Amino acid sequence: GAVVSQHPSWVICKSGTSVKIECRSLDFQATTMFWYRQFPKQSLMLMATSNEGSKATYEQGVEKDKFLINHASLTLSTLTVTSAHPEDSSFYICSARDGTGGTYEQYFGPGTRLTVT
Amino acid sequence: GENVEQHPSTLSVQEGDSAVIKCTYSDSASNYFPWYKQELGKRPQLIIDIRSNVGEKKDQRIAVTLNKTAKHFSLHITETQPEDSAVYFCAAGLLNTGNQFYFGTGTSLTVIP
């Protein structure tokens, strides 16, 4: 149980275009999802907290107009990188929390490798 | 915001020896401390966690200790095996508020057979 998927697993886009990444909880309802950015051999940097039915909460230094987050249902959150630039190239990974089980564990998706050319 | 530091960044041990990874956090309000293991090319997986009302927790070869006063916590792996080789991340979180986790910089553990 507690499986989180991400789509796509990798994407290459041209500078100036937008890219949407989906994060789905497959076998549980996730009232809260989190989006992280991971640079090579570095840590998971929390970008934002996505709450179902409400606006996302962004961490300091993360541009909310550039990284649009939508959490329209209890099983789906999307991250859209708008007007992508090469410096946005990174590994984006989401996690979801199953609030019903009484645990606080975050279950991670497999990540999405974004390359902006 | 919360700042988590983790040491060492790399660690090599002989199979059968113990490995210790240490983390410090800055926000005294943090009350939940999970440890995640990330194997190469895979997603992070929770291996053990501890809440602030507990000083130590053990699960077979893995144990975590927490010193709230000093704001540091440690992961102990005993009788290491080659399959323990991975990157380990500590995190600090504040439950029942935003439930966000703030991760340390990671420790790349290599267990030498």
- List, for residues B11-70, the tens digit of each pLDDT value: 999 999 999 999 999 999 999 999 999 998 889 999 999 999 889 999 999 999 999 999
A41-45, A54-58, A62-66, range with greatest mean pLDDT: A62-66
- pLDDT grade, residue A58 (50/70/90)? very high
Query: What does the pLDDT read at residue A101?
Result: 64
Of B6, B45, B101, the CB nearest to A46: B101
- Selected residue with higher pLDDT from A28 and A20: A20
**Per-residue confidence (pLDDT) for residue A54, from 0 to 100:** 85
| Beta strand A19-25 pairing with A4-7 | antiparallel
Is residue A99 classed exposed, middle or buried when 0-12, 13-18 and 19+ CB atoms within 10 A define those classes? Answer: middle
Interface A–B counts its CB contacts (< 8 A) at: 52
Of B45, B46, B89, the CB nearest to A44: B89
Average pLDDT over residues B101-108: 95
Average pLDDT over residues A7-26: 96
Q: Pick the residue from chain A with its C-alpha nearest to B41.
A: A110
* Contact partners, residue A61, CB within 8 Å, separation at least 6: none
Q: Which token pair is A46?
A: 């929390």
CA distance A113 to B61: 33
